Amino acid sequence: SQKIEQNSEALNIQEGKTATLTCNYTNYSPAYLQWYRQDPGRGPVFLLLIRENEKEKRKERLKVTFDTTLKQSLFHITASQPADSATYLCALDPGYSSASKIIFGSGTRLSIRP
Amino acid sequence: DADVTQTPRNRITKTGKRIMLECSQTKGHDRMYWYRQDPGLGLRLIYYSFDVKDINKGEISDGYSVSRQAQAKFSLSLESAIPNQTALYFCATSDQSGFVMETQYFGPGTRLLVL
């Protein structure tokens, strides 16, 4: 069956460290993958998009990798801060044959402790 | 995101009642979506609309209907609510961007409890 999994439901790390979140998928061949941030009581907010021919994408303290062989994306936050605490969702395009235009993972709740 | 608004923000209803959730956007986007979010299951697409005359079912449309009253308005109806429709509902918009995966812009969500 087709799945998109974010391996850690919750991740707690010390302020200043690098947070690494994982998104794995099976039986999809997405051309694109996105990462969103969701704060409690609010809708997700788009952070980054990476294409299948891009190995890495950066935006300020954020870095995303996309390995189509491993079927995995990694999302890194360097020099993490308590304000980075939120739930992070990965999303991919499942292809034209799918009833859904975009498939979301269930998210990883990241907590940065001071 | 203030560009996408949802009403109501919270709603408690009883089994069998009809309920409508409304979404408005000022982003000028043609494409609008309704999702539900459940713990551990992520966001799942209920319906989407690419313009006023175009309505499409998503992966979990059973028990729901939608109406696209205008480019800026997309409403979701539960004709006869049941407890397993208790969830957080999000409206989203996107701009047609050709061959690039579309960025979704989400509203603040409606928390629905069906008793």
Instruction: Give one DSSP letter per residue of A66-92, joined into a string.
Output: EETTTTEEEEEESS--GGG-EEEEEEE
What does the block give as tokens for B19? 């309920």
pLDDT of residue B99: 61
Is B42 an 8 Å CB contact of chain A?
Answer: yes
Output helix, strand, coil percentages for chain B, rounded to the nearest 5: 5, 55, 40
Judged on CB neighbours under 10 Å (0-12, 13-18, 19+), A20 is middle
Q: Residue A52, CB half-sphere, CA atoms under 13 Å: how many?
A: 16
Instruction: Judge: A43–B90 Cβ closer than 8 Å, yes or no.
Output: yes
- Residue B22 pLDDT > 80: yes
Give the DSSP letter string of B30-42. Answer: SEEEEEEEETTTE
Q: Where residue B48 falls among pLDDT bands split at 50, 70, 90?
A: very high
Instruction: Judge: B101–A107 Cβ closer than 8 Å, yes or no.
Output: no
Give residue-wise pLDDT tens across range B64-96. Answer: 999 999 999 999 999 999 999 999 999 999 886
Mutate to test the interface with A, among B33, B34, B103, B111 (most CBs of A within 10 A): B103
Distance from the Cα of residue B70 to its chain's centroid: 15
- Residue B49 pLDDT > 90: yes
* pLDDT one digit per residue (tens) for chain A, 114 residues: 668 889 777 899 999 999 999 999 988 888 889 999 999 989 999 999 998 889 899 999 999 999 999 999 999 999 999 999 999 999 998 766 555 578 899 999 999 999
CB A58 within 8 A of CB A75: no
Instruction: Judge: B108–A49 Cβ closer than 8 Å, yes or no.
Output: no
pLDDT of residue B46: 95
CB A110 within 8 A of CB A14: no
pLDDT of residue A47: 96
